[in-house]
């Protein structure tokens, strides 16, 4: 789930609690073959069977909501299997070739649940580990290995902590179930929202900042012109007014940041590129044709800055997918599509004819099935 979906789910939980209403959470815990959503996707269900967020294209939700209403009454978690290829069982007429298992649990008000909701609200990286059968217990594992809660067995807990940390450290962290020390556990992985730094607040930056935010990015727009950094133009983004000579004072960059240079001004683009290449950011996109990027590098070289090959390797120029984009809105689609593909480990090519997973690159798929 992206950041916007998670915010919607958390708001539904807050409203239910304020009204004193019990509710349930349905989570996809296993996927075999083809399915609309992947492990870790959540759906909030009220007692009246209304819900927020979705686990499929709309076909599974009514049945899941019905089951969730029973879980709300009994308090007993359950796992339901949907064989999407077998219409004789569910009569759903989906015609997919996969199967999904959905775990439904009542949302309690215990300390561990409150801590998990706090982590989701703050956008922190952590893993919640839940047994899928037999004895219970839950743990929350953070990236530094710190653990809260307990499972039914100390040895299982120790192994689970190690697997949780391995999932968080993976190139593309993902949720999934594993057999650990004889127990089947579900690892629900959440990571901090991806952070996009946009250098330049021109007319084409507005659509891009909004689209990137809408798909879950935390967006910061940087420009030396205060008048351009208007809240009406960038309502969801943080706005930093800074001359390039003072970038380091205002912007802290980590390895997980995405940098996008679109000042439409040679000197500002050169210095934004220098700052990005001197940072540990693993993605630097430069708007415009390749020849312009090469001129930016040449200009920096004249002033004594030559980036090592290892840093130049992270640059995307021209930035974006080849969509033939022309308008600011189309350019935003091309660039944000590349950001999503890069974040999830895909190359952004056409899907037509592909038989590979639509949701996981090879490294994450291997991790989930190891």
Tell me how far apart the alpha carbons of residues 349 and 337 are, in angstroms, rounded to a whole number: 10
Which residues share a beta bridge with 219? 196
Q: What's the DSSP call for residue 190?
A: E
- 42-46 vs 51-52, strand pairing mode: antiparallel
Q: What is the pLDDT of residues 19-48, one digit of tens each?
A: 999 999 999 999 987 777 899 999 999 999
According to the model, what pLDDT value does residue 83 have?
Answer: 87
CATH 3.40.50.720 fits 195-344, yes or no: yes
Please identify which residue in the block is written with the tokens 């899941």: 64
Whether residue 364 contacts residue 345, with contact meaning beta carbons closer than 8 Å, is answered with yes
pLDDT of residue 98: 77
Find the Cα–Cα–Cα–Cα dihedral 291, 348, 217, 38, rounded to 10°.
Answer: -170
Going from N- to C-terminal start, the domains of the chain cover 1-108, 110-192, 195-344
> What pTM does this model have?
0.86
Largest CA distance in the chain: 72
Structure tokens at 27: 């989570």
Per-residue pLDDT for the chain (370 aa), expressed as one digit of tens each?
889 999 999 999 999 999 999 999 999 999 987 777 899 999 999 999 999 999 988 889 999 999 999 999 999 999 999 987 665 444 455 555 678 999 999 999 999 999 999 999 999 999 999 999 866 799 999 988 899 999 999 999 999 999 999 999 998 899 999 999 888 999 999 999 999 999 999 999 999 999 999 999 999 999 999 999 999 999 999 999 999 999 999 999 999 999 999 999 999 999 999 999 999 999 999 999 999 999 999 999 999 999 999 999 999 999 999 999 999 999 999 999 999 999 989 889 888 887 666 666 654 433 333 3
Question: Which tens digits make up the pLDDT trace of 53-110?
Answer: 999 888 899 999 999 999 999 999 999 999 876 654 444 555 556 789 999 999 999 9
Q: Long-range contacts of range 271-277, CB-CB < 8 Å, 24 or more positions apart?
A: 271/244, 271/245, 271/247, 272/199, 272/200, 272/222, 272/244, 272/247, 273/297, 273/300, 274/300, 274/305, 275/244, 275/247, 275/248, 275/251, 276/199, 277/307, 277/311, 277/312, 277/315
- The confidence score (pLDDT) of residue 181 equals 85
């Amino acid at each position: 789930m992206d950041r916007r979906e998670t915010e919607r789910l958390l708001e539904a939980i807050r409203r239910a609690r304020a009204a004193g209403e019990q509710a349930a959470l349905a989570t996809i815990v296993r996927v075999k073959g083809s399915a609309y959503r992947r492990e870790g996707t959540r759906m909030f269900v009220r007692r009246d069977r209304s819900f927020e967020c979705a686990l499929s294209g709309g076909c599974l939700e009514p049945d899941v909501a019905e089951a969730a209403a029973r879980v709300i009454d009994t308090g007993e978690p359950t796992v339901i299997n949907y064989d999407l290829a077998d219409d004789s069982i569910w009569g759903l007429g989906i015609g997919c070739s996969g199967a999904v298992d959905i775990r439904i649990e009542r949302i309690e008000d215990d300390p561990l649940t409150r801590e998990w909701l706090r982590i989701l609200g703050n956008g922190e990286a952590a893993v919640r580990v839940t047994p899928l059968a037999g004895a219970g217990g839950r743990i929350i594992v953070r990236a530094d290995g710190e653990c809260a809660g307990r499972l039914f067995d100390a040895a299982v807990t120790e192994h689970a902590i190690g697997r949780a940390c391995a999932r968080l450290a993976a190139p593309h962290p993902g949720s999934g179930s594993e057999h650990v020390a004889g127990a089947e556990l579900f690892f629900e992985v959440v990571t901090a929202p991806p952070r996009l730094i946009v250098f330049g607040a021109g007319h084409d930056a507005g659509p891009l900042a909004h689209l990137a935010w809408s798909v879950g990015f935390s967006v910061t727009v940087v420009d030396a012109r205060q008048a351009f950094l208007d809240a009406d133009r960038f309502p969801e983004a943080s706005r930093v007014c800074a001359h390039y000579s003072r970038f380091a004072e205002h912007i802290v960059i980590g390895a997980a940041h995405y940098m996008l240079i679109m000042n439409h001004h040679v000197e500002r683009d050169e210095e934004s590129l220098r700052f990005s290449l001197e940072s540990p950011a693993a993605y630097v996109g430069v708007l415009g044709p390749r020849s312009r990027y090469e001129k930016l590098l040449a200009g920096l070289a004249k002033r004594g800055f030559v980036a090592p090959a290892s840093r130049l390797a992270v640059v995307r120029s021209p930035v974006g997918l080849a969509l033939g984009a022309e308008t600011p809105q189309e350019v935003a689609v091309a660039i944000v599509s590349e950001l999503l593909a890069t974040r999830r480990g895909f190359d952004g090519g056409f899907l037509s004819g592909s038989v590979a997973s639509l949701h996981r690159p090879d490294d994450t798929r291997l991790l989930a099935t190891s």
